[in-house]
Amino acid sequence: LSAGATSFLFTEYRYVGAFMVAFAVLIFVFLASVEGFSTESRACSYDSSKLCKPALATAVFSTVSFLLGAVTSLFSGFLGMRIATYANARTTLEARRGVGKAFIIAFRSGAVMGFLLAANGLLVLYIAINAFKLYYGDDWEGLFEAITGYGLGGSSMALFGRVGGGIYTKAADVGADLVGKVERNIPEDDPRNPAVIADNVGDNVGDIAGMGSDLFGSYAESSCAALVVASISSFGINHDLTAMLYPLVVSSVGILVCLITTLFATDFSEVKAVDEIEPALKRQLIISTVLMAVAIAVVSFVALPSSFTIFNFGVQKEVSWWELALCVGVGLVAGLVIGFVTEYYTSNAYSPVRDVADSCRTGAATNVIFGLALGYKSVIVPIFAIAVSIFVSFSFAAMYGIAMAALGMLSTIATGLAIDAYGPISDNAGGIAEMAGMSHRIRETTDALDAAGNTTAAIGKGFAIGSAALVSLALFGAFVSRADVSSVDVLTPKVFIGLIVGAMLPYWFSAMTMKSVGSAALKMVEEVRRQFNTIPGLIEGTAKPDYATCVKISTDASIREMIPPGALVMLTPLVVGIFFGVETLSGVLAGALVSGVQV
């Protein structure tokens, strides 16, 4: 498993690396050509009496921070995957000693990944800011504009990690289950199934490496969005470093809070029975939110001046410290609400999942209809939670408030990731138990862990989406104020066609990825059938299947198919901006944000 996952990630990173370099060149050329590659200092855009560093410098530093963000994102995904592949087998072994012991190993492994990711993101960003300051000196506006590349690098790599890993894991999953479980009636993760290794590798590259990169992307972007707005507010103008780095202070306190929270699951109270697993994971969310709320109040009081101004579309808005603390708190609570709603719709303890199971009595068609309806229905409450947090945070502190609400939602990222990574780790532990032919009792233990893990993995995705919605809005605000668009008027045809086209983009993107999974799964099903039909003694267990061919099908499909969706996302803003102008582009961005969150 470890070898398979490592070889896939290295193959993926080779292609992504090439794209990264090409995109870095594009960023450099576009940004440097703003002033015709001049090395002269220019008047600052917010205070024309002062001189700021040349556009060429911003281009160089933005490109460097883009590469830093990209590498950190890939590194986070890779580390998470390594930890998970070590943890799988250890969880299986601990399962011999009971549910409690296996739970602790799986949960701690997830926590290691969560802390590594949160700390990595914070450390690299902090070092980058201090290194860039050596050149920029007092020009904080230019400094933090150059830092935004970090968020872009993180999220562009997350896009490829998510899409590539997702295609890989689903193709293998569908292929293994359709032929193995449905046609041949052998158990899940049975070693006779040729796609079983690909399926288990997929859990690591999709759910762990992909999820790690994804949350890192949101985390980096919300920090960068907040820093950009702060640099043109009173924090930046008065050069108040502690207040300026408030977003990083919130994230670092979050790490300490999550450390204490983790102890509640592993040390202060022990899981003894199967039905204690889900409540223990749910308590993690509640405890981290409560502790973080207290920590935010303390940190805001210490780090922020009693009142200050925040840049709000051309005017400076008076804000006091407690208003900003409330913005972070609102994001934190919204995250908890999204987590609980997601759990309600995906856990087998509640009526939605039971309704879907009940609908299977009349066949697969009613099951699909019920499932889709449930998926659509689960959007309602999270959207209201996001809407309320946007309204409250914008009323208090404009766009900066929204960026801080996103950071509030992500401040407990270490706990969120621990809960999330726990799922795939338990899933693979079960696979290893089945493949190694261990006793039925062990498989039952890992299945119990896995059932809770499926729900908690969905909670992690809910966090990623909720925070991404807030971050996108904050970045959209930063873009609009930076591009001098005074207002985005829906009634002008330019903007409206942008809105409609933007709202279509998530569907185009989804269509591409779903078709990719479908065609890869088709090949996988044919290959697994071929092996069952042509290898004598395979179904009896006397001959070994050819695992490598199935791994290759998944790898090739995901590498080949992740490029078009990725290109669609990355090139759309460039093409629209160059050919149709800034107003249409602001329409496209708004449309894509609104429909993307729903999907």
Helices 547-598 and 440-482, interaxial angle, to 10°? 50
* pLDDT at residue 561, rounded to an integer: 87
Are the beta carbons of 103 and 278 closer than 8 angstroms? no
Are the beta carbons of 460 and 417 closer than 8 angstroms? yes
* pLDDT over 70 percentage in the chain: 99
* pLDDT at residue 46, rounded to an integer: 61
Farthest CA pair distance, the chain: 83
34 pLDDT exceeds 70?
A: yes
**In Å, what is the CA distance from 300 to each residue of 126, 244, 249?**
19, 12, 9
Partners of residue 312 on adjacent β-strands: 315
80 pLDDT exceeds 90?
A: no
537 pLDDT exceeds 70?
A: yes
509 pLDDT exceeds 90?
A: yes
User: Tokens representing 54?
Assistant: 């040349």
Task: Give residue 45's pLDDT band: very low, low, confident or very high (50, 70, 90).
Answer: low
* pLDDT at residue 48, rounded to an integer: 67
Name the DSSP class of 367: H
Which range (208-212, 294-298, 340-344, 500-504) has the least confidence? 208-212
pLDDT digits (tens, 9 = 90+) for 364-411: 999 999 999 999 999 999 999 999 999 999 999 888 899 899 999 989
Which residues have CB under 8 Å from 511's CB, separation 6+? none
Other beta carbons within 10 Å of 47: 12
- From 240, 242, 239, 399, select the one nearest 316 (Cα to Cα): 399
457 pLDDT exceeds 80?
A: no
Other beta carbons within 10 Å of 191: 17
Coil, helix or strand for 45? Answer: coil
**In Å, what is the CA distance from 255 to each residue of 78, 299, 301, 346?**
21, 13, 19, 28
Which residues have CB under 8 Å from 491's CB, separation 6+? none
451 vs 172 pLDDT, higher one: 172
* pLDDT at residue 501, rounded to an integer: 95
User: Tokens representing 362?
Assistant: 């009349």
**pTM exceeding 0.85:** yes
475 pLDDT exceeds 90?
A: no
Q: Mean per-residue pLDDT for 104-124?
A: 90
Which residues have CB under 8 Å from 272's CB, separation 6+? 99, 100
DSSP string, 276-339: GHHHHHHHHHHHHHHHHHHHHHHHHHHHS-SEEEEEETTEEEEEEHHHHHHHHHHHHHHHHHHH
Q: Mean per-residue pLDDT for 560-587?
A: 90
* pLDDT at residue 417, rounded to an integer: 87
**In Å, what is the CA distance from 395 to each residue of 280, 323, 597?**
36, 9, 22
Round the average pLDDT of the chain to a whole number and report it: 88
* Domain of 419, in residue numbers: 1-597
Q: Mean per-residue pLDDT for 315-319?
A: 83
- From 232, 395, 414, select the one nearest 326 (Cα to Cα): 395
Are the beta carbons of 170 and 197 closer than 8 angstroms? no
pLDDT digits (tens, 9 = 90+) for 130-150: 999 998 888 888 888 889 899
| 564-572: long-range pairs with CB below 8 Å, 24+ | 564/512, 565/163, 565/509, 565/512, 565/513, 565/516, 566/19, 566/156, 566/159, 566/160, 566/163, 568/505, 568/508, 568/509, 568/512, 569/159, 569/505, 569/509, 570/23, 570/156, 570/159, 572/505
Task: Give residue 504's pLDDT band: very low, low, confident or very high (50, 70, 90).
Answer: very high
Are the beta carbons of 195 and 524 closer than 8 angstroms? yes
**Number of domains composing the chain:** 1
Q: Which helix (H) or strand (E) holds 51?
A: strand 51-52
Q: Compute the distance between CA of residue 585 and CA of residue 578 in angstroms, rounded to an integer.
A: 9
* pLDDT at residue 275, rounded to an integer: 82
Q: Compute the distance between CA of residue 8 and CA of residue 6 in angstroms, rounded to an integer.
A: 5
Are the beta carbons of 226 and 68 closer than 8 angstroms? no
Q: Mean per-residue pLDDT for 416-436?
A: 87
* pLDDT at residue 405, rounded to an integer: 93
pLDDT digits (tens, 9 = 90+) for 247-284: 999 999 999 999 999 998 888 888 888 788 888 888 88
DSSP string, 135-194: HHTT-HHHHHHHHHHHHHHHHHHHHHHHHHHHHHHHHHHHHHIIIIIIIS---TT-TTST
pLDDT digits (tens, 9 = 90+) for 159-205: 888 888 888 889 888 888 888 888 888 888 888 888 888 888 888 88
User: Tokens representing 69?
Assistant: 């963000």
Task: Give residue 590's pLDDT band: very low, low, confident or very high (50, 70, 90).
Answer: very high
* pLDDT at residue 137, rounded to an integer: 82
**Nearest 5°: CA angle at 154, between 222 and 68?**
110
Coil, helix or strand for 108? Answer: helix
Q: Mean per-residue pLDDT for 355-367?
A: 93
- From 593, 578, 587, 596, select the one nearest 498 (Cα to Cα): 587
Task: Give residue 482's pLDDT band: very low, low, confident or very high (50, 70, 90).
Answer: confident
User: Tokens representing 269?
Assistant: 């109270």
* pLDDT at residue 47, rounded to an integer: 65
* pLDDT at residue 339, rounded to an integer: 87
